Amino acid sequence: MSTPKDKLEEMVKLLDDFETQEVIDFVGYIREKRKKMFDEMLENAPVDEESLTEAELQAIEQARKDLKAGKTISHEKFWGKYDLQD
């Protein structure tokens, strides 16, 4: 079974240089548009007035320590661990 990325890769192989550049430009446009939309959403998000609990603050501190120590897993491993991959 082909993934969407596999299908896209096969289609891109059929493009000439001009068409390839158009695709690159379009993908860049889509990514920039999504980034702008996300940034605007964050900028306009309501302020959370609720204070964090002591347990939440401790969990955040532990997460920062784990990140600094390199105690992380890949995106793929996380989603696979919870059986949420496509």
The per-residue b/e assignment along 48-77, b for 16 or more CB within 10 angstroms, e otherwise, is eeeeeeeeeeeeeeeeeeeeeeeeeeeeee
| Per-residue pLDDT tens digits for 72-83 | 888 888 877 776
Task: Quote the CA–CA distance of 56 and 16 in Å, as a whole number.
Answer: 54
65 band by pLDDT with thresholds 50, 70 and 90: very high
DSSP state of 12: H
Mean pLDDT computed over 43-70? 93
Where in the chain are the domains?
1-44
The answer on pLDDT for 64 being more than 90 is yes
- Per-residue pLDDT tens digits for 3-52: 999 999 999 999 999 999 999 999 999 999 999 999 999 999 998 888 99
